[in-house]
Structure 1
Amino acid sequence: MARATRRRARRGETSREPLPGAGPQATRTAPVAIVVAGPADAVPLLHSEPAGSVIEVICLDGGGDAEYRAMEAAVTQAKRRGCSFPGEPFFLDAEAGSLTGQILDALHEIGPLRVRTLDPDPVHDDIDRERKLPIVNEPAARGQVARSALRAARRYQLEAGTPVFVDCRRAGADAELPAEACTRYPLPTRWLITGKDGRLSAYLPTAAGVVRWTEGPTEADGWRGPELLEGPELMPGLTVLRGPEGYAHLIGLSRTTRREGGVAVEVVCATQYQTGRPVGPWISIGNPNAASWQKAREVGFPAATFDAAGVLHLFVRNFGHSVSVRRQSPKGSLAGWETLRGMRTADEVAAFPAADGGVHMVARARDARAAVHWYRRDEASGWTENRRIPVSPYPGSLSAAPEAGLVRFRYAGSNEVCAWWPGAQAPIGLGGPDGVGPVAGVAGADIQGWGCTVLVRGGAGRVTAIGAHPDGRPDTGVWWSESGEPSVVPPAAAFDSRGRVVIATVGMDGRLRVARQQLGSSGLEFTQWDVH
């Protein structure tokens, strides 16, 4: 029996308690709302939910009998894995008025921490040669529902006052892939940043924009947040960098309606100069396909890094499925977009500095279990492409390593975590085949007087796993250990003002969790999780 979209709570209220200062309610698992066009669209999203999830489904319509039975079967499988469903699916009335309003009503009844939906801007399948415009064969209702879900989730977060994390599943993705392997707008891996004053800040993308948690002046003061930062309406992804000057740089995608019709999708960035203070203005970096809004809306999510001279190099997958790069000088001046015409790439790019001061970029191939490597030595050198690298990444696993000149990924054939550096004949396996998603970490950690690299990743059931190896010696092997509770975002790591490794996650209740290294212990040991 389908439910109506009536509300249990008035707008501005929610069944999920506000996170700061919340009582016992804050420790429970908050629901995930799956918002799709029809029952068949919900199936891959249901398959990728881990055990313990509390799931609510919102559909534009009920579809045919076969679609509904497929969704029922996926619900049954999810229940067997340990997921729970508080009620029957919501089915909306497309002719009753605002689709966004109906989804918003359902979100107020559900009180979700996460919203999962479809691709708002699916890429083209073909080209209209006469009109020179892209042809998108994805059903229009899917994009319509995704865009309405994003608007509703934003409004819900602003009214409820609690963070909502959004995942948009890329159109055309393999139905068996987990969410982390096919998200249109990826979450950052380096979202925990040490400011110039030594205090830590955590930055994560939500439906309403970037939220920030800020460490107090002393450890006893705890953390402040989550605080919604002012800025444009962003898509639910984020790239976070700590620049050579110690500032935090936030990079994302904005999507706005054009007065003359269509939409404008642009890369935007902002800088956090002082810990806990307002973030600087969001600046447009543009779009490599800006001449055509129909092409520009397909741009991939940006990746970026700094070279030794302090120049920011920003990379995006463009309309033609190659990579475009734009450089920004330390004084803020922008060079034009440069297209690296080579192997066709997927929406997955990792950028990282070279040990000699240059810049590397590795992108996963679009049509093969392979990757391409680009390298630029300095201002006087051009970009060099290398397609013959021994990198076969599982989707959604590429990340820049904490050491200069390395990239990490999960091997497509086994899901094992691997490290590779340009010039190496083969990657080095680091174990950890359980779990999904990228690997983060820090280099130079003090473990009993030895300099070590500490790694963090999502493990089985999204529980954070921690490992370590001597700096520069990943070949010695990594011993992984689980850290406790699951996280709704990839775990992050940074150093605090005392040089201790700090690991941060966000629990299934939406609250920030922080664990600190215990210096002087017999090995790599951390405190219990502090919940904020």
Structure 2
Amino acid sequence: MVLRLLRGKDGRLSAYAPAAGGIARWTETRPGGPNWAGPEWLDVPGLTACSIGQGSDGYVHLVGLREKRAPDDQIDVDVVHATQYQTGRPTTVWHSLGTPHPKDAERARRVTVVSTVVGKEGAVHVVVRNAGGGISARRQDAKGKWSGWVDFKGSNVTEGVSTVATKEGRVEFFAPATGAALRWYMTEPGGGLKRGDNLDVNPLPGSVSGVQTGRDSLTHYWRDADTREIVAYRSGADAEPVSLGGATGEGAAAVIQAPVYGYDCTVLAQHEPETRRLAVAAYPTENESAGAWWTPTGEPGLTAPALALDGYGRVVLAALGPGRELLVTRQKTTEPGLALDAWTVV
């Protein structure tokens, strides 16, 4: 379960660290910090997986997989959802969304991946890997009404599904599969999702992420299973995956579009298992051929990097320490390049 760093409508950042049985949450006491409140524990008994998304209205949607012991002593699994309407405030109660397999508890227990994204006018999309190894999703419209589960097909999906949206609300799903990457996309905000061609690539399970990089373009990232390097892909005419090169790592890279010393850049952060440290890189947005130059940061033992812009537009990098404590560093705007302040323990 991945650390998330999100900015509310009031400019304050919140960090969410899901764990078995709940979510730890820290919140800035004012926009730009440096002080934080927390951690506050959001109790979700039985939580085994969690995804957190945010819409343009600032609402935070928390979606997870929950295990419950049934009367026959079997374990039942369902997808659950809660909403946080204001920064640092309590969430709604957790509501069950069921699973794509409501009449088959054994198949429901094989739903193991969950992801969420918010599209046009606050429409929430919840995506899971179903028991058949494909993708199923439910959608909540702007009025709060949920659709039923829709089977988007696909096969051999592995760990991790990236769900991303443009600011206008055009949504894409991107899933690693055995020897391929699968993509579903909207041609216009709020429309239906179409299946794209499979990409003939070899993504490492659990390594996909994505971000908006242009007015109506989304860039997807994954880690090549053979080289462990980050690969970028953006759909379009003659689009081809491009390796960013440089340091290798593990897990999904955190990624954000941000100004770096006056230039529009894409900033990435990853965990390097060899050094047990984090590394950051930046390159001109949508110019992957420039490559990414990775710079180590932080002490050994930091994991789960997350990126966001704070209330002053500075890049903020957060991570979890060995004891799951939250550590934060911010961009120095007075120095060239992507210079970061010293790490502080929240």
> What's the CA shift string for 1:1-26, capped at 9, x where partnerless?
xxxxxxxxxxxxxxxxxxxxxxxxxx
Spell out the pairing of 1:224-263 with structure 2 (5 A cutoff).
224-235=37-48, 237-259=49-71, 261-263=73-75
**Structure 1 residues 319, 388: closer, same or farther in 2, change over 3 A?**
closer
Match of 1:296 in 2: 108
Taking the aligned partners of 2:339 and 2:173, their CA distance within structure 1 comes to: 34
In structure 2, which of residues 295, 298, 314 is the aligned counterpart of residue 481 of structure 1?
295
Find the residue that maps to 2:106 and give its secondary structure.
helix
Greater shift in the superposed pair: 373-382 or 415-424: 373-382
Deviation at 1:402, TM superposition (A): 4.8
Match of 1:361 in 2: 173
Decide which structure has greater strand share: 2
Deviation at 1:509, TM superposition (A): 3.3
Match of 1:196 in 2: 9
Question: Does the CA contact (< 8 Å) of 2:278 and 2:303 recur in 1?
Answer: no
Find the residue that maps to 2:159 and give its secondary structure.
strand
Match of 1:502 in 2: 316
Match of 2:265 in 1: 452
Matched, 1:323 2:129: no
Taking the aligned partners of 1:325 and 1:302, their CA distance within structure 2 comes to: 9
Taking the aligned partners of 2:86 and 2:166, their CA distance within structure 1 comes to: 28
Spell out the pairing of 1:380-529 with structure 2 (5 A cutoff).
382-403=192-213, 404-423=217-236, 424-443=238-257, 445-459=258-272, 460-487=274-301, 489-529=303-343
Taking the aligned partners of 2:168 and 2:39, their CA distance within structure 1 comes to: 38
**Structure 1 residues 498, 220: closer, same or farther in 2, change over 3 A?**
closer
How many matched pairs? Answer: 341
**Structure 1 residues 243, 487: closer, same or farther in 2, change over 3 A?**
farther
Matched, 1:265 2:77: yes
Deviation at 1:522, TM superposition (A): 2.1
**Structure 1 residues 227, 479: closer, same or farther in 2, change over 3 A?**
same
> What's the CA shift string for 1:469-505, capped at 9, x where partnerless?
1223222221110002234532001111111100001
Taking the aligned partners of 1:218 and 1:377, their CA distance within structure 2 comes to: 36
Taking the aligned partners of 1:371 and 1:293, their CA distance within structure 2 comes to: 29
> What's the CA shift string for 1:292-330, capped at 9, x where partnerless?
111111102211222234322221111111111111112
**Structure 1 residues 388, 206: closer, same or farther in 2, change over 3 A?**
closer
Match of 1:72 in 2: none
- Supply the AA of the counterpart residue of 1:485: E
Taking the aligned partners of 2:20 and 2:276, their CA distance within structure 1 comes to: 21
Match of 2:97 in 1: 285
Taking the aligned partners of 1:355 and 1:473, their CA distance within structure 2 comes to: 21
TM-score by length of 1: 0.60
Find the residue that maps to 1:333 and give its secondary structure.
coil
- Supply the AA of the counterpart residue of 2:287: R
TM-score by length of 2: 0.91
Deviation at 1:219, TM superposition (A): 5.5
Match of 1:212 in 2: 25
Find the residue that maps to 1:348 and give its secondary structure.
coil
Question: Does the CA contact (< 8 Å) of 1:213 and 1:226 recur in 2?
Answer: yes
Deviation at 1:461, TM superposition (A): 3.0
Matched, 1:276 2:88: yes
Find the residue that maps to 1:446 and give its secondary structure.
strand
Question: Does the CA contact (< 8 Å) of 2:277 and 2:302 recur in 1?
Answer: no
Find the residue that maps to 1:437 and give its secondary structure.
strand
Match of 2:151 in 1: 339
Question: Does the CA contact (< 8 Å) of 2:173 and 2:183 recur in 1?
Answer: yes
- Supply the AA of the counterpart residue of 1:203: Y
Question: Does the CA contact (< 8 Å) of 1:306 and 1:353 recur in 2?
Answer: yes
**Structure 1 residues 446, 254: closer, same or farther in 2, change over 3 A?**
same
> Can you give the 5+ residue segments of structure 2 that lack an aligned partner in the other structure?
none
Deviation at 1:221, TM superposition (A): 5.9
Deviation at 1:260, TM superposition (A): 5.2
- Supply the AA of the counterpart residue of 1:269: H
- Supply the AA of the counterpart residue of 1:333: K
Deviation at 1:194, TM superposition (A): 0.7
Find the residue that maps to 1:295 and give its secondary structure.
helix
Matched, 1:374 2:184: yes
Taking the aligned partners of 2:81 and 2:126, their CA distance within structure 1 comes to: 10
Find the residue that maps to 1:294 and give its secondary structure.
helix
Give the aligned CA root-mean-square deviation in angstroms: 2.2
> Can you give the 5+ residue segments of structure 1 that lack an aligned partner in the other structure?
1-186
Find the residue that maps to 2:250 and give its secondary structure.
coil
Deviation at 1:441, TM superposition (A): 2.0
- Supply the AA of the counterpart residue of 2:36: W
Decide which structure has greater helix share: 1
Deviation at 1:432, TM superposition (A): 3.5
> What's the CA shift string for 1:326-385, capped at 9, x where partnerless?
1111221101111122333223321222587432212222xx321222223358865432
**Structure 1 residues 207, 354: closer, same or farther in 2, change over 3 A?**
closer
Taking the aligned partners of 1:317 and 1:220, their CA distance within structure 2 comes to: 38
Find the residue that maps to 2:160 and give its secondary structure.
strand
